[in-house]
Homo-oligomer: A and B are copies of this chain.
């Protein structure tokens, strides 16, 4: 469920750009239109739309058009998938360190 490498590629790639992270940050406080997302950014509306398309293709956001306004919102499941990938690797490493610590403590006892 959403764990294929291609999707992770798209998500991490999408998050790699500061403008796109800023959009995600804004959306984490609630849905917004394209112009609202563009407002704090020093770039053309066209560029913003392109970033938005990257975010949507990655699955990190979902958009819906009503009249002439496109409303964007966060897709928390996608965020969770990225989060989960990182978390699993970090935990694997930390569990390994714990086991190593236990081992060293034991061999010290037996010296």
A residues lining the B interface (CB < 8 Å): 5, 8-9, 12-13, 15-18, 21, 24-25, 27-30, 74, 76, 79-80, 82-83, 85-90, 92-94, 96
Contact A18 B25 (CB under 8 A): no
Q: Which of B16, B92, B94, B96 contacts A12 (CB 8 A)?
A: B16
Could you name 20 residue pairs across A and B whose Cβ atoms are closer than 8 Å?
A: A5-B18, A9-B17, A12-B12, A12-B13, A12-B15, A12-B16, A12-B21, A13-B16, A21-B85, A25-B89, A29-B96, A30-B96, A74-B89, A74-B90, A74-B93, A76-B90, A76-B94, A79-B89, A79-B90, A80-B90
On chain B, the residues within 8 Å of A9 by CB distance are 16-18
Q: How far is the CB of A5 from chain B (nearest CB, A)?
A: 5
A85 vs B25: C-alpha distance in the bound complex, in angstroms? Answer: 9
Q: How far is the CB of A20 from chain B (nearest CB, A)?
A: 9
Q: Which of A28, A80, A82, A89 has the most CB of B within 10 A?
A: A89
On chain B, the residues within 8 Å of A80 by CB distance are 90
Contact A28 B90, CB 8 Å, known A5-B18, A9-B17, A15-B12: yes
